[in-house]
Amino acid sequence: MSPSSYNSKSDFVEAFSLKIEELGHPRIYGQILGWLLICDPPHQSFPNLMENLDISKASVSNVTRMLLERGLIEKVRIKGERQIYFKLKEGSVIDFMQKQLRLALDLEEITSKGLEFLSKEKDTDSKRLEKANDFHRFLAEQSENLIKKYKADHDL
Amino acid sequence: MSPSSYNSKSDFVEAFSLKIEELGHPRIYGQILGWLLICDPPHQSFPNLMENLDISKASVSNVTRMLLERGLIEKVRIKGERQIYFKLKEGSVIDFMQKQLRLALDLEEITSKGLEFLSKEKDTDSKRLEKANDFHRFLAEQSENLIKKYKADHDL
DNA sequence: AGATTTGTTTAGTATTGAGTAAACTAAATT
DNA sequence: AATTTAGTTTACTCAATACTAAACAAATCT
């Protein structure tokens, strides 16, 4: 179905950032992450990012701050250089997905508290919520296990 | 940390819909899903939804259409009644999460195509992207297995 | 100290999308 | 056929947010 690849780094960055944007992040958020996955060298300065992604200085400042706060990138200082460089943090790809998987845990909690309330009411049908809760607990536990296993198998 | 439960059905619906909203859906999207998880009876009319969720007729119409298209709810006709009722579709909770898990598959594809492009370039460092692709493939496969197993174990 | 470079913050623009009221359509009842 | 009921569509308002240009702050170099 998709045997074709991209024709430029920009194509990759665009596809990648569009997907990240679907999750509710700013477009530039995914652009920077995507670029840092393939750029050469792996660390990039303000001007590097501005030019290659065609974004403003303010955007670099704002979005790198977000990414730093979330622990997805880190600053790199180079001896004798004034500029700041940014690079992907080790394990950022895993961390990013792990955050997505928290959804199951959050919904487990919410449905669990909902069940607790329903149990105090009379004449309620809690079957639907019980099923939902059960499934979310399963998924939260098992996906957590998956990540653990992956990390263990890859010395992280 | 959260030993307390909710004090009303509305509290549950609000917490639930806020979480769904974080994923990029309209607020009312989660409100209707949440309400249909706990309402009595399980099928609800336009007026039911308007009153209990305090939303307009137009919103019920628009958002139920979205939910129908995505296969998360279904229409119920009752003999001799003119009104339409809506109820959660069997398996909608699982379907909803399965859609979330597609992210790993999508990112696997994108990184895979990125790697294919990089392989045609010279002097590129593709280690970062290879790692990302490997992880996403793992997660896509394994999470798919989880769902399959859950469905099998629960006769779905 | 003054000037230059580097990065941050502020203030403003523009776009997007949610939600609704009201107009409209379709169907059923009288 | 006329009227009421049920749901859809249209047109609009409002709020949130991304993004940037320009003003600002901080640090380094001469």
Q: Which of B13-17, B85-89, B122-126 has the lowest mean pLDDT?
A: B122-126
Q: What is the pLDDT of residue B105?
A: 97
Crossing angle of helices B92-120/B127-153, nearest 10°? 160
Interface of B with A in 45-74 (CB under 8 A): none
Q: What does the alpha-carbon distance between residue A149 and residue B17 come to, in Å, rounded to a whole number?
A: 32
DSSP, res B125:
-
Q: Does A84 touch chain B (CB under 8 A)?
A: no
- Please list the pLDDT of chain A residue by residue as tens digits (156 residues): 555 799 999 999 999 999 999 999 999 999 999 999 999 999 999 999 999 999 999 999 999 999 999 999 999 999 889 999 999 999 999 999 999 999 999 999 999 999 999 999 988 999 999 999 999 999 999 999 999 999 999 988
Arithmetic mean of pLDDT, B97-124: 95
Q: Which of B54, A42, B113 is nearest to A33 (CA)?
A: A42
pTM of the model: 0.93
Arithmetic mean of pLDDT, B147-154: 96
Identify the residue among B103, B108, B112, B133 best suited for mutation to test binding to A, counting A beta carbons within 10 A and taking the highest: B103
Q: Which nucleotide is closest, CA of B27 to its C1'?
A: C18
Identify the residue among A7, A92, A121, A135 best suited for mutation to test binding to B, counting B beta carbons within 10 A and taking the highest: A135
Q: Which of A2, A124, A128 sits opposite B109 (nearest CB)?
A: A2
A-chain CB neighbours of B111 within 8 Å are 16, 37
Per-residue pLDDT at B112 exceeds 70 = yes
Interface of A with B in 86-115 (CB under 8 A): 88, 93-94, 97, 100, 103-104, 106-107, 109-111, 113-114
Q: What is the pLDDT of residue A156?
A: 85
Q: What is the pLDDT of residue A4?
A: 76
Q: What is the pLDDT of residue A28?
A: 98
Q: Which nucleotide is closest, CA of A17 to its C1'?
A: D18
B-chain CB neighbours of A9 within 8 Å are 117
Give the CA-to-C1' distance from B117 to D19 in angstroms: 30
Q: What is the pLDDT of residue B2?
A: 52
Cβ–Cβ gap B110/A15 under 8 Å: yes
DSSP, res B89:
P
Confidence of residue B156 (pLDDT cuts 50, 70, 90): confident
Q: What is the pLDDT of residue A2?
A: 53
Q: What does the alpha-carbon distance between residue A83 and residue A76 come to, in Å, rounded to a whole number?
A: 9
> B27: part of which helix (H) or strand (E)?
helix B27-38
Q: What does the alpha-carbon distance between residue A25 and residue A8 come to, in Å, rounded to a whole number?
A: 23
Half-sphere exposure of B79 (CA within 13 A, CB side): 0
User: Of all residues in chain B, what percent carry a pLDDT higher than 90?
Assistant: 93
Answer whether B64's CB lies under 8 Å from B86's CB. yes
User: Of all residues in chain B, what percent carry a pLDDT higher than 70?
Assistant: 98
Confidence of residue B123 (pLDDT cuts 50, 70, 90): confident
Arithmetic mean of pLDDT, B62-89: 96
